Structure 1
Amino acid sequence: MQARKRPWRTRLLAVGVGGLLIGALAAGPAQAAEQEQQAGLRLTALAVEQDTVDATSGDATVTVDWTVADADTAATDLFGTLTVQQVGADGQLVGAPQDLTFSFEPQWPYQASAVAGTMASADYSYAFPVPQYAAGSTARWAVVGATARDDRGGTFTAGRDALAPYDAAFTATHLVDSTGPAYDGLGTVLDQPEYLYNADASVTAKYRLNITDAESGFFRGELVLGGPAGATASGTVRLIRQTDGTLRCGDYDGYDSHDVSCTVEVTLPAGAPAGAWSVSRVALTDASGNVGVTEGLSQDPVHLTQNSTVQASDFAIGPAQYNNWNGTAPLTITMKPSGYRDGIASVTVLLDGCAGSVTEHPEIASDGSISVRATVPPIYTRRCAVTGIGITDGTGASAAYGERFHGPALDLVATQIPDTAAPVVNAASLNITSVPKSALPRNAVLTLDVTSFVGVGGFSLTVYDASGASVGGSSGGVATVSSGRLDLVVRLYQDLTPGEYTVGFTLTDMGGLHTQYGYPGGHGLPVPGGPLRITVTDG
Structure 2
Amino acid sequence: MTSDSVLSATGFAFTPSHIDSWHSPGPTAQFSLRPSGAVGGVSSVQLTNWGNNANQCQQLSTTPTVQADGTVTVPVRGLRGQFSCQLHGLIITDGHGDQAVYGSALGAPDIDATLANIPDTVWPTVDAVTVTPGTVAANDTQTWIKLTIDVSASTAGVNGLDLYLVDASGHADSIQSGGVSTTFSGPLDEYFTLPQGTAPGTYTIGFRLQDQGYNTVSYGLPGSGSQPMPGGPVTLTVTDPATAR
User: Pick from 32, 36, 45: which aligns with 1:338?
Assistant: 36
The number of aligned residues is 234
TM-superposed CA distance for 1:507, in Å, is: 0.8
Give the 3-state SS of the residue equivalent to 1:442 in structure 2.
coil
1:475 aligns to 2:177 (yes or no): yes
SS in 2 for 1:359: coil
For residue 483 of structure 1, report the CA deviation from its aligned partner. Answer: 0.9
Change in 2 beyond 3 A, CA 1:314/1:338: same
Aligned pairs for 1:128-527 within 5 A: 197=1, 305-306=2-3, 308-327=5-24, 328-352=26-50, 353=53, 354-360=57-63, 362-381=64-83, 383-450=84-151, 451-520=153-222, 524-527=226-229
Secondary structure of 2:169's counterpart equals coil
Change (3 A) 1:490 1:363: closer
CA distance in 2, matches of 1:306, 1:409: 19
Match of 1:268 in 2: none
Say which structure is richer in strand: 1
Which ranges in structure 2 are unaligned for 5 or more consecutive residues? none
Tell me, yes or no, if the aligned pair for 2:139 and 2:197 is still in contact at 8 Å: no
Q: Secondary structure of the residue that 1:404 maps to in structure 2?
A: helix
What is the TM-score when the length of structure 1 is the normalising length?
0.41
SS at match of 2:182: strand
Q: Is the 8 A contact 1:472 1:491 kept in 2?
A: no
Give the Cα–Cα distance (whole angstroms) in 1 for the partners of residues 128 and 76 of structure 2. 39
CA distance in 1: counterparts of 2:199 and 2:68, whole angstroms: 77
Task: Pick the structure with greater CA Rg.
Answer: 1
- In structure 2, C-alpha distance between the alignment counterparts of 1:332 and 1:387, rounded to whole Å: 16
Distance change in 2, residues 1:386/1:440 (3 Å): closer
1:472, CA displacement in angstroms?
4.6
Q: Map of 1:7-22 to 2, 5 A cutoff? A: none
CA–CA separation in structure 1 for the residues paired with 2:224 and 2:85: 42
| Higher RCO (C-alpha under 8 Å, 6+ residues apart) | 2
State the distance in 2 between where 1:494 and 1:316 align. Answer: 58
**Structure 1 residues without counterparts, runs of 5 or longer:** 1-196, 198-304
Residues 393 and 449 of structure 1, relative CA distance in 2, 3 Å threshold: same
> Cα offset for 1:519?
2.1
Tell me, in whole angstroms, the C-alpha distance in 1 between the residues paired with 2:134 and 2:217: 24
Mapped to 2, the partners of 1:521 and 1:350 lie a distance apart of 49
Percent of residue pairs identical: 36
SS at match of 1:395: coil
CA distance, structure 1, for counterparts of residue 213 and residue 181 of structure 2: 14
Cα shift at 1:338: 2.0
Q: Which amino acid aligns with 1:388?
A: G
